């Protein structure tokens, strides 16, 4: 009983929370799968997790999972499809 424990009985006793839906073996597998391709979007990773592990997460939670695995994200650099293949050479000729 908490009354008999005195002040110590007033401290909360947490059970550690629910078990994660994505276990450590599954996280390792996800990490391996993500390294097979260079660029991913959160939506693509979310679909990958849903298809591979049958677990559905929000994009925000996928972001948290990636952060916990020390993976970084950035907005991809947009390439203009109209840009010529020799754009750098053209610029060098203009500067000279």
Q: Closest by alpha carbon to 46, among 90, 36, 33, 72?
A: 33
Cα(76)–Cα(25) distance, rounded to whole angstroms?
29
Among all chains, which residue has been given the structure tokens 């979310």? 46
83 is a domain residue: no
82 is a domain residue: no
Residue 4, pLDDT above cutoff 80: no
- What local confidence, expressed as pLDDT, does residue 28 receive? 95
66 is a domain residue: yes
Give me 8's structure tokens.
Answer: 């110590």
Confidence band (pLDDT; 50, 70, 90) for 94? Answer: confident
| H helix intervals, the chain | 2-5, 24-34, 42-53, 59-68, 87-95
94 is a domain residue: no
Range of the domain at 27: 20-77
Residue 2, pLDDT above cutoff 60: no
87 is a domain residue: no
Give me 67's structure tokens.
Answer: 């952060």
Confidence band (pLDDT; 50, 70, 90) for 96? Answer: low
In the chain, the N- to C-terminal Cα span, in Å, equals 86
Q: What percent of the chain has pLDDT over 90?
A: 45
Residue 73, pLDDT above cutoff 90: no
Cα(39)–Cα(44) distance, rounded to whole angstroms?
10
63 is a domain residue: yes
Number of domains in the chain: 1
Residue 69, pLDDT above cutoff 80: yes
């Amino acid at each position: 009983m908490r009354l008999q424990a005195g002040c110590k009985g007033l401290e909360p006793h947490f059970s550690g929370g629910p078990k994660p839906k994505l276990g450590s073996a599954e996280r390792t597998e996800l990490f391996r799968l993500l390294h097979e391709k260079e660029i991913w979007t959160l939506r693509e990773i979310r679909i990958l997790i849903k298809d591979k592990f049958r677990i559905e997460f929000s994009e925000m939670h996928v972001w948290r999972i990636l952060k916990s695995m020390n993976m970084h994200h950035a907005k991809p650099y947009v390439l203009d499809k109209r840009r010529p293949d020799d754009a750098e050479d053209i610029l060098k000729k203009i500067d000279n």
